[in-house]
Amino acid sequence: MRTPMKILFRAFAVGVAVFQAGVSGAGDTPAPLAGAPGPDAVRSITLPHFEPTLAAAPGRDEFLAVCVSCHSPRYVTLQPLFSRRQWEETVDKMAKVYGAPMGQEQRQPIIDYLVAIHGPDSDKAGAAADEDSAFTAPAVPPARPDTTPLLKPAVEAAAHQAEVNHGAELFQQDCAACHGTAGRGDGWVGRVLLRRPENLAAICFSPRLLGQALWNGKPGTAMPSWRNLSPGDLTALAAYVQTLHPPDTAAPASSEAVQRGNLLFQQNCVPCHGVLADGKGVSAASLMPPPANFRWKQPDFDYILQILRDGISGTGMPSWKSQLSEADRRALAGFVRSRFETAGAP
């Protein structure tokens, strides 16, 4: 039986495919106008740049975790100034009709936030601003206590295997459309997403990071919050995801490489990833999705080299192939991997 979320993903992918087929159909191409550039001519367009900076108000975190996985922040600003009742009806429709993975405890904060930033009195509260007309750093709400449940996979072998088997079923049902059946980020929905889904087979994750991603989603990506799943289901999913990455047999970087990588990291990466490589640099608050926390995730060596070479589309992570030599990129990769807390955050 297909879940509402799977139906939503399938409809989205089919819509993209139909759109692409429509714009690329050769039979529908009109004859070129006289004087128009030929098919091999270089063309350029200037796209409009508009993405609102969401106001800081209670409920912003819940909105980012649940709503932005499908809707852009701009979408809210295109709606009428709904009353509280209208926002309640809209939020409930998203959950009941379209299968938005919203926990019951997230419903009221989301509604309160939407009313505050785009309700009848939102001008008094401070609506979202167009960053083209206000080049100021986005307001960041104060940090709140972490409510992520502690996911502790079973230790006993038989119980752990049962968890992994259950997690595999849940993964194929809820996650494979984006992450792919083997977790490599190549699912049929993932191919049309920006940013692309995480390659779970190329990264070792701490249990705490998996718990946060499942509980809160990943703001700025299509990864939603899965608070509609029980703690047992979340634990099983986390246990299965950890099996997607094969045992790490890579030798640690030499002390000389780590020292060189540390110097390069301090020179180039600290503003986003932070001095401790925990994703809490001074620029992190303005980036969506937020920078990686390398204390809680350890990408494979070759995977880091790929990212340093190509960057990550849809994020603030640029390509470094023109700024850093191959030797420096390898040293930086070794240092980043050395930051992982191998004991694991609980």
Cis upstream peptide for 260 (omega within 30°): no
- At residue 210, φ and ψ (nearest 5 deg) are -60, -40
pLDDT of res. 345 = 44
Q: Give domain 255-338's CATH superfamily.
A: Cytochrome c-like domain (1.10.760.10)
| Residue pLDDT, tens place only, 234-279 | 999 999 999 999 988 888 899 999 999 999 999 999 999 999 999 9
Looking at domain 157-244, its CATH class is mainly alpha
Q: Same CATH fold, 157-244 and 53-128?
A: yes
CATH number for domain 53-128, candidates 1.10.760.10, 2.50.20.10, 3.40.50.2000, 3.30.1950.10 = 1.10.760.10
| Residue pLDDT, tens place only, 201-244 | 999 999 999 999 999 898 888 898 898 899 999 999 999 999 99
- Cα gap 96→238, rounded to integer Å: 26
pLDDT of res. 237 = 96
Q: What is the pTM of this model?
A: 0.65
| Residue pLDDT, tens place only, 35-78 | 555 656 555 555 444 445 677 788 888 887 788 767 766 677 77
Share of the chain above pLDDT 70, in %: 75
Domain positions in the chain are 53-128, 157-244, 255-338
3-state secondary structure the chain: CCCHHHHHHHHHHHHHHHHHHHHHCHHHCCCCCCCCCCCCCCCCCCCCCCCEECCCCCCHHHHHHHCCCCCCHHHHHCCCCCCHHHHHHHHHHHHHCCCCCCCHHHHHHHHHHHHHHHCCCHHHHCCCEECCCCCCCCCCCCCCCCCCCCCCCCCCHHHHHHHHHHHHHHHHHHCHHHHCCCCCCCCCCHHHCCCCCCCHHHEEECHHHHHHHHHHCCCCCCCCCCCCCCHHHHHHHHHHHHHHCCCCCCCCCCHHHHHHHHHHHHHHCHHHHCCCCCCCCCCHHHCCCCCCCCCCEEECHHHHHHHHHHCCCCCCCCCCCCCCCHHHHHHHHHHHHHCCCCCCCC
103: nearest Cα among 189, 210, 215, 22: 215
| Residue pLDDT, tens place only, 315-344 | 889 999 999 999 999 999 999 999 998 754
- Cα gap 278→270, rounded to integer Å: 10
